[in-house]
Amino acid sequence: MDILNYIAESFSNITFLKVIDFIGTFAFAISGIRLASAKRFDWFGAYVVGAATAIGGGTLRDVMLDVPVFWMHDGIYLFCTGLALVWVIMFRRHLVHMHNTFFVFDAVGLALFTIVGIQKTLDCNLPIWVAIVMGTMTGAAGGVIRDVLINEEPLIFRKEIYAMACVVGGVVFGICDWFGTPVEVTMLLCGTAVFLTRVLAVKYQICLPTLRAEDEEKG
């Protein structure tokens, strides 16, 4: 477990976490801004959609947990969204070639946001199943708010495994927690589970079953 503990220590290192947080926020904001640009929103609209994607899930979580909203106490999140907007404006034509990079960034962000959401909920003395819900919300609700704002059916409700990766990570967190695993290792395993579930699901095109409309299969 030495190597695992070593990685876990880095993982709990505050600077390392800050960097991942920044990368995740950036990737989430980019995804919002790109979809907004496809709808021909202006710069302000794109910024708002980007911010909603990046910080919407965490905001919803903090409001429901009745704790101070995280981005009001650290300017980095809104600054990072602004940077993402500048990035899209400048490198718009090259974004399509960075697809894989952003996919990995997005998955890393998803993993971190899930862990943060779970940990913050447990700190409020709420049970683990609430923490899993909140972790999933932190990771995936931003994308839902984004799709509501651009007036599309939420993508994560129809395609690919996205929010389910958070749920899988949450369950891993719960199991580790149950067995008294040190919190750093628990967080590392949870994040890995989210990341791998997401990446493998996309690579092998694994989808959840779809509910069919009631009038199908009749004929």
- Write out the residues near its own copies by the rule CB under 8 A: 33-34, 36-46, 48-49, 59, 63-64, 66, 68-69, 72, 75, 78, 88-89, 92-93, 95-96, 126-127, 129-130, 133, 144, 148-154, 156-159, 163-164, 167, 207-214, 217
Q: Which is nearer to its own copies, 8 or 27 (CB)?
A: 27
What is the DSSP-derived secondary structure letter of residue 169?
H
Q: Which is nearer to its own copies, 18 or 159 (CB)?
A: 159
Backbone angles phi, psi at 29, to 5 degrees: -60, -45
Q: Minimum CB separation from its own copies for residue 195, in Å? A: 18
Contact (Cβ atoms closer than 8 angstroms) between residue 146 and residue 32: yes
CA-based angle 138:129:16, to the nearest 5?
40
Q: Minimum CB separation from its own copies for residue 6, in Å? A: 35
> Who contacts 152 (Cβ-Cβ below 8 Å, separation ≥6)?
35
> Who contacts 121 (Cβ-Cβ below 8 Å, separation ≥6)?
61, 65, 130, 131, 134, 135
Q: Minimum CB separation from its own copies for residue 218, in Å? A: 8
| Helix (H) or strand (E) segment spanning residue 116 | helix 99-123
What's the chain's length in residues? 219
Q: Which is nearer to its own copies, 11 or 59 (CB)?
A: 59
Contact (Cβ atoms closer than 8 angstroms) between residue 113 and residue 57: yes
Q: Minimum CB separation from its own copies for residue 167, in Å? A: 8
Q: Which is nearer to its own copies, 18 or 39 (CB)?
A: 39
Taking alpha carbons only, the member of 157, 156, 147, 162 closest to residue 49 is: 147
Q: Minimum CB separation from its own copies for residue 2, in Å? A: 38
How many C-beta atoms lie closer than 10 Å to residue 58's C-beta?
24
Q: Which is nearer to its own copies, 144 or 172 (CB)?
A: 144
Taking alpha carbons only, the member of 102, 212, 207 closest to residue 156 is: 207
Q: Which is nearer to its own copies, 8 or 170 (CB)?
A: 170
Q: Minimum CB separation from its own copies for residue 15, in Å? A: 23
